Structure 1
Amino acid sequence: MSIRLYPLGYILSDEIVKKLPSNYVSQELSHNYFYYIDKGTPYSIYESEDNFLIIHGEYMHIGINNNIPNHKLAEKLLFLYSNNFDEFLNLLDYIAGRFTIIVKEVSSIKIFPDATNARSNYYCTDRILVSSHAFLLADVLDYNIPKGKIKHEHKIFLNTLYDNVKSTISNHYTELMSNKVTRFFPRENNPFSNMDEERKFQLIEKFWKTQIDEFSKYDNKLIFSITGGLNSRFALSLSKEHINNLSFFTYALKEKIDNSNNVSRLLSLDYAIVTDILKDIPLNHKFFYLHDNPKTLTDEESKILNKNTTHSHLPILNKYVEDAFGDNSIHLRSNLLEIGQAHLYRRREVESSSKEAKDSVMRMYKRQTTNTSFLEQLYDEFVSNTDYLSNTYDYHTVDLVYWELRMGRWLCEVYNNHDSILRTINPFNHRALICLSLAFPYEQRRDLYMFKEIINRNYPILNFYGFNNLKNLYEQSKEKRNL
């Protein structure tokens, strides 16, 4: 398997970097800065007399009324950054993909992550040095890289294993050297809250489908993971027009139901529900049986994969995917949808406040730490240093916590696990699309109303099968009648 170090990554410095992976190449950049990328990674650079702007990674502008072509986007962004910063920020809200925007002006460098920090970014606090991967910086700086599991406190807020290396987070830009972290979203109340429901649905469909239409033109094989839950079916419904050109997979332990432990029970649920769906909807689909058809990684492959991420997540999936689909695939994912589903307060509505935000952080991370007082101290320091949640307008603070602190740190590292084999795209990673999902009343978000309505508009039969429930819609209604 052709696993490489720090795939799809980058490093930017004001000094020549000598310790680089063999797959990294230098890209021409003026102003005495040095930009290195994993060979073949998409990027765009636009330079003016004093400034430059880099878009590193996959990106696609999808506006309400028009779309800016990729080859013009960097120039447009730099012009707006220099002449109308508010419009620059507005434009960012309509860029989908998995990317980082780096802006150099006369006296500073600023890092703007994509909508959910899906392209991870790590920067040094004592020099001009920023990279896509934490351990790429560690290699350059000759820092020790641990062999065991990384403690949870080194993977949350801005924290890393190293005191002088920090992470970016969603909806905030970072200025290098000053290390100032500034919230740039939200800048107003949710502009979609008072929009007609039909118009909301139309925009959600446009923002998602435009991306699928474009990716379908690529030479890469498009693959799609499908489970027994709602999110993958929402994504499938919006990809229906291209269903014959998509390849699907589901991973399970065995080719049968196995309820012997919690993990096997959950994966068996996916196996059973997807099996039912496949009886009615013919998909080009494969099951990966992790127990019945085991695969292994070599020591060298494991070593590389461990360096590519700070959060190991099913690294063996690389083997299954490459064997099934080759190494030139784009993986369409749908994990982020939980941001619009009141995920942290679905059981009961809570007020939008700094107190509820802090309580949600403590609940969210309590299983990963035995020292809750230390966790509270870390959060309080983070809030103090960044002025976190100081102005959230009508966005719920708990939604922002889940969006920025959970998804903005965890999911990017999940993606980093599989970049050697897959280029990962999540069409939901478009700030305006996320805002649309948050523009419905709490009760509708709690009940997943928008997601089920979109499925009903685009592929109604997908609502028939149970969502993480072995009983289909008819069986569930029958059960309710018999109560």
Structure 2
Amino acid sequence: MKDEIKYPFGFLLTRKHFENRYNWREFSLPGEWTLYFSPKNEFVSSSSNAVHIAILGYFFDIRNGNLKEDSIIDKLKRSLEQSNELFLDEISYLSGRFLIILSQNGKLNLFHDVSGLRSVCYHSHYDVVASHDSLVSEVVGDTNVEQVYFKPSEISFSYHTRYKSIEKLIPNMTYEVNTRTLERYYPTKDFPSKSKEEIKTELKQYLSETVKWVRRSHYTPILSLTGGGDSRTSLAILKPIIRDLETFTYMKDTSNASDYAKKTFLNDKKIVTSIVDNLNLKHRFFEISTDECVDPEVIKTIKHNVLSNHGLNLANDYYNLYGKKDYLHIRSTALFNVGKYIFQNSTLKIKEWNTQLIAKNVQKWTLIEDEQQNIEHLDHLLNHAQLTNWYNYNPLELLFVSYRLIQWHSGVVGESDIAFNTMLLLNSRQILDLMLSYPIEERNENKLFNDLIEDLWPVLNYWDINSTENLKTKYIEADKQKERLAQINKQLFQNIITPSTSQSDQLTRTYDNQGVVYKFQNQDIQSNDSYTLTFNLSGFNDDDILCFTTQLFYNNPKGRDKITVTSNFLGESDLLDLFGKREIRLTIKDFSPNEPPYIKILHHQATSTRSWVEASRIWVGDFSIV
């Protein structure tokens, strides 16, 4: 194995003897605890009035991206002087990838970021807490630890690690190391109800401050760019620093892949190429190395660090491409799934949840086929997470954050830690609450992120999501569809409406704007001259509804009592009283073949003036069947 990439961004908190073979920094904490940590980690601490706070990893306040770390930690101490609730409220505004160590009143509590980007593993029987389960095993002594899981799928929705008695701290719970006890601190109340505009305004403020922090940090930001909507959202958020941002897209050898996989990667490349070329982004494509081209010692070390099989060869390539510089990989994953609600549509309307319903909807992650065993597993997870009350939160989303992210996403991040640090732009509890308070049906349709893109960098909506279509191709296609609809409507008119007239000359028919204008051809109109439009309903089902629009154009009061409109669905009225457009809905079963729907236009006075021909014309169009 390669020691230089063993336990990247690692830390160890213990009261046991530890030979510091990795030359990590050391920091003493109350209760004879010692914190060892890789110098790649940021670290700040402060003590006063029997309160000691240390924070490992990068962090910032989403209310003020320019606020220094020392100022933030001072605010946390002041909040503790008032109440624990105020302290928890303050850390809800923190984003980043961090571990907070709080010593107070003889207790030593651990808190980490909302999605668990900073992994925390602890032993159930020994005073050992660390960044990696294998590091806990190393410190405890491999002879005292048994590996019981060998595949990520075996623990894909749990708090377990690959080792017996070594567990992961799930997000939004604090671990007290002296008593080895857990306590949930979020959520403890309903999330506030806010309007969509309030939510978006607040989100944009927090994201703007997030970008300020990225700009002032020592990291070089790098964004993985795909043809999907999530990375498009991240790109829109990062627009203010776009000239400092590097982007990349990895490709796979799809020669032996399915047609669907080939199409997916080809589309990704086409979409990304168009975005990059038109926006002049700093970008690179690279193809993931094959097994023959990777360093086996690098792969072996990654496997020692984490139990994950997302993309070991990809992590090897990350290491070669980006491992020599302080890159911050901005991922469009994890909490982005909360922003668009990833569960089945059938769950949207559920108001009363129970264990059976929840278990059914997380089975795709628990992978437990037996229904009763799956329910029992879910019940155990709820008890471990102390989720006896989920307030107005959706329990599926709480469980996703608690158990899915610390396994799947933690593994993905853990693989790439050998190359760079990781950031999620949405990684704070306040931002999580804002997303969860957005109407769930609209999140399910991805409207929240689409609206953010429209507000932050609307040109990005020019490109379709996961499709090579764009606004130009859609416009051209819409124009073609409009022409096709016009032809369909024209055919409908010819088949549905049968015109007749008392005059010897046929009516004039002019196609106009998805409809037809009917009028007399001969302007020599006699008293009681009329024309009738009869609607042919044969060929329709009884339950069909024929929808269309009529429009009459005459509105001069001097013409009252000159022309009458008679209809078995409009009634009998003076032409003046029917001026304008009317939307008509005719239920087929309400009419018989012997008495079909009709409209009759009747003149009461003789005239030879062309204006009266125009006065009695009628437009009928916009046909549809529902």
TM-score, normalising length: structure 1:
0.89
Write the distance in 1 (CA, Å) between the matches of 2:433 and 2:449. 14
Please show how residues 18-29 of structure 1 align to structure 2 within 5 Å: 18=19, 20-29=20-29
Tell me which moved more, 48-57 or 300-309. Answer: 48-57
* Aligned twin of 2:32: 32
Out of 147-156 and 158-167, give the one that drifted further.
Answer: 147-156
Over 3 Å counting, the alpha-carbon distance change for 1:470 and 1:66 in structure 2 is closer
* SS state at 2:312 partner: coil
- Which residue number corresponds to residue 252 of structure 1? 251
* CA distance 1:216–1:384, change in 2 (3 Å): closer
- What code does the residue aligned with 2:428 have? H
The residue that corresponds to 2:284 in the other structure is 286
In the other structure, the counterpart of 1:53 is 53
Aligned to 2:270: 272
Instruction: Name the CA shift for 1:160/1:219 in 2 (closer, same or farther; >3 Å).
Output: closer
Q: 1:99 to 1:372 in 2, by over 3 A?
A: farther
1:412 corresponds to 2:410: yes
> Structure 1 residues 21, 413: CA separation in 2 closer, same or farther (over 3 Å shift)?
farther
> How far is the alpha carbon of 1:324 from its aligned partner?
3.8
Deviations 1:318-373 (A, max 9, x none): 3433444443211111212111211113465241523333222223333xx55665
Matched, 1:17 2:43: no
Partner of 1:62: 62
Give 3-state SS (helix, strand or coil) of 2:190's partner. Answer: coil
Partner of 1:44: 44
Shift of 1:450: 1.4
The AA in structure 1 aligned to 2:315 is: N
Correspondence list, 1:7-406, <5 A? 7-18=8-19, 20-48=20-48, 50-63=50-63, 68-81=67-80, 83-143=82-142, 149-176=150-177, 178-191=179-192, 193-195=193-195, 197-254=196-253, 260=258, 262-290=260-288, 296-325=293-322, 326-335=324-333, 336-346=335-345, 349-352=348-351, 353-355=353-355, 356-366=357-367, 374-388=373-387, 390-406=388-404
Structure 1's 411 and 2: CA in aligned 2 closer, same or farther, altered over 3 A? same
Q: Which amino acid aligns with 2:120?
A: N
Q: Corresponding residue for 1:432? A: 430
**Which of the pair has the greater relative contact order for Cα pairs under 8 Å at 6+ separation?**
1
- The aligned amino acid for 1:394 is N
Distance 1:67 1:329 in 2: 20
Contact persistence 2:147–2:164 (CA under 8 A):
no
Measured after TM superposition, the shift of residue 43 of structure 1 is: 1.5
Deviation for aligned residue 1:23: 4.5
CA distance in 2, matches of 1:30, 1:85: 20
CA distance in 2, matches of 1:10, 1:221: 23
1:393 is paired with a residue whose SS is coil
Is the alpha carbon distance of 1:66 and 1:261 closer, same or farther for their aligned partners in structure 2, counting shifts above 3 Å? closer
SS in 2 for 1:162: coil
Secondary structure of the equivalent of 2:174? strand
- Name the residue aligned to 1:449: 447
Identity, in percent, stands at 22
Deviations 1:377-396 (A, max 9, x none): 332222234432x2222111
Distance 1:53 1:237, change over 3 A: same
CA contact (8 A) 1:14 1:129 kept: yes
Q: Report the residue type matching 1:44 in the other structure.
A: V
The question of whether the paired residues in 2 share the 8 Å contact of 1:95 and 1:430 is answered with yes
Partner of 1:387, secondary structure, is coil
Q: Which moved more, 1:177-186 or 1:226-235?
A: 177-186
Q: Distance in 2 between matches of 1:383 and 1:187?
A: 15
Q: Structure 1 residues 226, 13: closer, same or farther in 2, change over 3 A?
A: same
- Quick one: which amino acid aligns to residue 449 of structure 2? F
The 8 Å contact of residues 252 and 268 in structure 1, kept in 2 or not, is answered as: no
5+ long unaligned stretches in structure 2:
486-626
2:173 partner letter = H
Distance 1:172 1:33 in 2: 21
- Preserved CA contact (<8 Å) 1:31 1:50: no
Structure 1, unpaired ranges of 5+: none
Q: Is the 8 A contact 2:251 2:286 kept in 1?
A: yes
CA distance in 2, matches of 1:442, 1:238: 22
If each structure's strand is expressed as a fraction of its own residues, which one has the higher value?
2
| Closer, same or farther: CA 385–418 of 1 in aligned 2, 3 Å | closer
Q: Distance in 2 between matches of 1:253 and 1:408?
A: 26
**Are the aligned partners of 2:319 and 2:418 in contact in 1 as well (CA < 8 Å)?**
no
Residues 452, 2 of structure 1: CA spacing in aligned structure 2 closer, same or farther, 3 A cutoff? farther
How far is the alpha carbon of 1:163 from its aligned partner?
A: 3.0
- The amino acid across from 2:293 in the alignment is T
Alignment partner of 1:343: what SS?
A: coil
Work out whether residues 295 and 319 of structure 1, in 8 Å CA contact, stay in contact via their aligned partners in 2.
no
Cα distance between partner residues in 2 of 1:471 and 1:145? 53
How far apart, CA to CA, are the structure 2 residues paired with 1:228 and 1:441? 25
Deviation at 1:49, TM superposition (A): 5.8
Change (3 A) 1:361 1:260: closer
- What SS does the corresponding residue of 1:157 show, helix, strand or coil? coil
C-alpha contact 1:216 1:242 (8 A) present in aligned 2: yes
| Offset, 1:130 | 1.0
**What is the alpha-carbon root mean square deviation over aligned residues?**
2.9
Per-residue deviation at 1:313? 2.4
8 Å CA contact 2:12, 2:37 repeated in 1: yes
Which of the two has higher C-alpha Rg? 2
Number of residue pairs matched? 474
1:162 deviates by 2.7
Rounded Cα–Cα distance in structure 2 between residues aligned with 1:240 and 1:228: 17
Separation (CA, whole Å) in 1 of partners of 2:284 and 2:300: 28
Please tell me whether the aligned partners of residues 342 and 442 of structure 1 are also in contact (alpha carbons under 8 angstroms): yes
Check conservation: 1:334, 1:428, Cα contact below 8 A.
no
Which range moves more in the overlay, 143-152 or 52-61? 143-152
C-alpha distance in 2 between matches for 1:122 and 1:322: 24
In structure 1, the residue corresponding to 2:465 is in which secondary structure? coil
TM-score normalised per structure 2: 0.70
CA distance in 2, matches of 1:340, 1:458: 16
Distance 1:17 1:48, change over 3 A: farther
State how far apart, in whole Å, the 1-side matches of 2:469 and 2:350 are. 34
Q: Which amino acid aligns with 2:208?
A: K
Shift of 1:412: 2.2
Give yes or no for contact 1:259–1:265 (8 Å, CA) kept in 2.
no
